[in-house]
Amino acid sequence: MYETDPWVLCFDGFDPAAEGHREALCTLGNGYWGTRGAAPEARTDAVHYPGTYLAGVYNPLSTEVHVGEAVGDVLSDTLGTAGGPGIRTPFEPPAEGPAPGGRAAHVRNDEHMVNAPNWLPLWFRTGGGPGSSSVGDFSAPDSGWFHPESAELLEYRQELDLRRGLLTRVLRYRDTRGHVTRVQSRRFVSQASPHVAVLETTFTAEDWSGPLTVRSAIDGRVANRNVAADRLLAHLHLMPRTARELNEDSVLLEVETTRSGIHIAMAARTRAYAGTGAGQVRLEPARRFLTDSSRWVAHEFDLALERGVPLRVEKVVVVSTSRDRAVVSAPTAVATWLARIDEPASLLAAHEREWQILWDEFAVHLHSGAHQSLALNLNTFHVLQTVAAVDADLDAGVPARGLHGEGYRGHVFWDEVFVYPILTLRRPDLSRALLGYRYRRLGEARAAARAAGHEGARFPWQSGIDGRDVTPTELFNPRTNRWMPDHSGLQHHVGLALAYSVWGYYQATGDVDYLIEQGAELLLEIARLFASLTEYDETDDRYDIGGTMGPDEFHDGLPGHPGEGLRNNAYTNIFAAWVLRRAVDTVALLEGRSCRPLWNRLRLRPDEVDTWETIGRRLRVPFHSDG
C-alpha cells in the first residue's frame, strides 16, 4: 500500500496473502447492499472471497454439534468444499440416534446474514482456441481463463477513490503466446440508485490483434464460508429458483433462502463497445446462453481485439428481494428496472453527485498528514456505505462488520452506539431509520424480558431478522479445535446503549414527536427492565444488579463460576443509573402533551417513576480501596 492522496487507497502488486484484507477494505456498498472488493474473475478459494450481502437478509440453519469433540480434521476437510464430515446441508434432516462413538450431540440453530449471488464474474481469455464453454470448466485453472494468481503479471494496481466511491484496477499481463494485454476495470455500487451496480472493463491489446472471449455471469453457487470459526456450521443458504435469458444482452437469476423464504433476484446487462469518443462503436456479438440447474447464469461472446484499440465491456446489474416495498416480485422488479436503466456514464455521474453530498456533510479535514486523513476518510467511507440507503422501508440495523463480510454472522450488536453520534449530528434521518429497526422489534424484547421473569424490554446481545436473541451459546475455537461455551448473552448493556442513542437523538434534534411515537417507549421499557433486575440491600440502602457481563467480554463470572455473570459490574450499573434518570426526565418532558396512545401502551404505575428516581440514585458502584 502507498499513500499519495488522503482520498485514495492504493495497492501496488498482487499479493495472494493480503488479498482477503484488500477485499474487505475495498468493499463497495450503499446501505442496501455491499460487495467485497474481489477480482471480477475470482472464485471462492484460499485466496479470494467475492461476497455480496443485502441489508436485513438473514437465514437460520441447523447444525449437529458434537460437544467436546476435537474436530480439527473436520474443519480442514470442510475448507473450500460444499460440505464435509459432521456438516448437514439445510436440505438434510438431523440424524437420528446417538452420535458416532457415543459422543454427546445436539442440533443448534444459527442465523446468518446471507452471502448472496455473486454479480461480479466477468471472465476473459485471449487468443481464442478450443477452450471449453461449459459451466463445469468455469473455474478450471487450465481452461484458458485469466486468473491473477496464475497469470504472468507485468503490472497490477488497485485504487479505491473514497470521494467517488469508485474502485479501479489496472493490470498488464503476458499470455502463453507472449502477447501483452492491458485490462482496466472500474466498478461502483450506486449511491443514487441503491439497487444498481456497474462493472466497466476496458481491454487493450498492446502488441497483437486477435480474438477475446468474455463470459459475464451471475453466480448463485455460493455459501457462507468467510469465517474460519463458523465453517463447521451449515452454510448453504440459497435454493435455486429461476435462471433465464431476458433478451439478447441480459440474463436473470433468482434464488430463495432456505428457511426465511426471502427471494433474491439479480439481472445483468452486458454490452461491448470498440474505440473511444466520437469514434466509439457498439458491437453486437452473438451470445451463448449458459446456465447450471438454475444456480448460475451467463452470457458468453467473442470479440475481435485490434492492436492499440480499446474495447470496453459494460456490465450493469440490478438486484431486488422480496423484502422490498412496492414490487410485484423480485424477478419482475429487476427485469423492469434493467429495461429502463441509464447508461453507465449517467449512472456514474449521479453516483458521484450523491457521494459529493455525503462528503459535504461528513468530511473532516485534518492537518496532521496524509496517513491520518486517509485513515479517517476510509473509516467514514465504510460507515456511510453501511447505512446511507437505510430507511424505514428497508428495516435494517447496523451489522457489527457492516456489509463487508460474515464476521459475527452479520448480527446487530451494540456497535450502533458508536455510529449514531456521527449520523445524528449530520443526517438525523438515518439515525431515526436505524432506531426504527429496534422499535419494530420491541415486542420480541418484551417477550424476552417476560420469559426471564422481568418487566420491560430485554434487547438481545445479537439481533437478526426478527429481534429474537440469536447470540450463540457456544463457539468453535480454532486454536483448540473444540467447541467452547459463549456467555456473551449476559451483556444486557445493549439495551442501555439503545436508550442512550434514543436520548442522544432527542438532544441533537429536539424532536419531541419522535419521543412520542417511538423513542420514549423504547427508553422507558428499557428502564423498566433494569429496575426489575435490581435487588435491594436494606442494610446498605443500596440496589444491586447481578448476573451481568460487562463490555470487556472477558469476565463472565467470578473465579470458579464461569457463565454466572458478575455482581455490580461498574459499567452496567453506572449506565443503568443514567438511563433510569433519563426515564424520569422523559416522563416529565412529555407530561401534558398529547400522547395518550403512548401512555396507554405503557400503562405506567403511580409509583413507578419515583422508584426509577430512587434506584437511579442508590445503585451500588464498587470502588477499589485506592478510590
Residues with catalytic function: 553
* Strand arrangement, sheet containing 122-126: 122-126, 210-219, 296-305, 288-291
Task: Report whether 456 contacts 576 (CB < 8 A).
Answer: no
Q: What are phi and psi of 549, to 5 degrees?
A: -130, 130
From CA 306, how far away is CA 312, in angstroms rounded?
Answer: 12
- CB-based burial label for 436 (10 Å; 0-12, 13-18, 19+): buried
Q: What are phi and psi of 524, to 5 degrees?
A: -70, -35
Task: Report whether 556 contacts 471 (CB < 8 A).
Answer: no
Provide the b/e sequence for 309-324 (b: ≥16 CB within 10 Å).
ebbbbbbbbbbbbbbb
β-bridge pairing 263-274 and 250-257: antiparallel
From CA 30, how far away is CA 12, in angstroms rounded?
Answer: 26
- Three-class DSSP category at 316: strand
- Positive or negative, the CA dihedral 38, 418, 396, 489 is positive
| Closest among 415, 335, 467, 394 to 54, alpha carbons compared | 394
C-alpha pair distances (Å), 323 with each of 194, 326, 330, 444: 14, 10, 9, 20
Task: Report whether 436 contacts 392 (CB < 8 A).
Answer: yes
- Three-class DSSP category at 593: coil
Going by the DSSP 8-state scheme, the letter that residue 117 receives in this structure is: P
| Closest among 18, 440, 67, 11 to 232, alpha carbons compared | 67
Amino acid at 348: L
C-alpha pair distances (Å), 218 with each of 77, 94, 221: 27, 32, 9
Q: What are phi and psi of 550, to 5 degrees?
A: -80, 175
- Three-class DSSP category at 301: strand
From CA 22, how far away is CA 18, in angstroms rounded?
Answer: 6
Residue 526 in grid coordinates: 428499557
From CA 583, how far away is CA 567, in angstroms rounded?
Answer: 23
DSSP string, 470-497: ---SEEEETTTTEEEE--GGG-THHHHH
| Angle between the N-to-C axes of helices 428-439 and 416-424, in degrees from 0 to 180, rounded to the nearest 10 | 140
- Which residues, including other chains, have CB under 8 Å from residue 102's CB and lie 6 or more apart? none
